[in-house]
Structure 1
Amino acid sequence: MGWTDFYRRRDALDAVLDAAAGDPAAPLTFDRELFATEDELLAALHYRWMQQLTGRLGVALEDAAGDRVETVTATWRALAAEQPVLRAVLDEHLTATDAVEREQRLLALTAGLADLTEPSDEIARVGAAFLALVRNAPQPRVRHRRLAKSA
């Protein structure tokens, strides 16, 4: 793929997300010259999500001194908040088990909840449970201290 194709695909993905912003559950409209099927489109959207997620997880874990579970949770939630349409489209339309399980395994392994020596399906099961908690657990309230007035 040359740069021209790369930019055409990037722009086409952006157009899909722009169109889906009003209703991410609606049928997706996309350029069939660039993506032959909806599954191919969803694979490209999921790739975009995973690129951003893995990059952010790497940075967050490098900078974190605390709990890996908390770091992974905060990172996933922050990306989902920054990319709500992308996340919503994937949640509504992505049914490819291998893609979903890839994300689940990434989260389980990165959070330290599973080990590479475990069976892949077990790692995905742990990741699915973890992701359900990440999505549904109440987020802690942040307390702000008042700053003392400077004299």
Structure 2
Amino acid sequence: MTYMNDKASPKQLLNSLPLYATVERQVFDGQDLASLRPQQLWFVRCSFVGVDLRHSALDGCSFKLCDLSMAHLRGASLRGVSMAGCNLRAADLRDTDLTAARFSSVNTGTPPHGLTDVTDAKFDNAITRDMKFKQVIGIPSRFI
């Protein structure tokens, strides 16, 4: 990502990126990004392990091969988000709006690599209208 510099916080930088900007190979582990409001960014191979994204508006964002394990997304708006080949193990997705969200895989050529994993993710009280799962590991039985 060519937009990041050391003068602003990661939250300020992400909020200032233009529509559809690509963020690649950035590590946000453990950061406080609560109430983030980016403009439909494309995240590729980024790490958000244990990050605080509560009440963020990530509508239309795309995550490809990203690690969101143990991420705190409670109350976030994830309308139309795309998660392809992502790790969402033990992520907190309670009270999120997942309307039209897509969870899918990425063809890495070596199965089972490239599958999205939602094992132990919490979906309590989430809005799941038109949510789609395709080649995903750990889907809760209520979505099958």
TM over 0.5: no
Greater helix proportion? 1
Q: Which one has a bigger Cα radius of gyration?
A: 1
Normalization by structure 2: what TM-score? 0.29
Normalization by structure 1: what TM-score? 0.29
Name the structure, 1 or 2, with higher relative contact order (CA <8 Å, separation 6+). 1
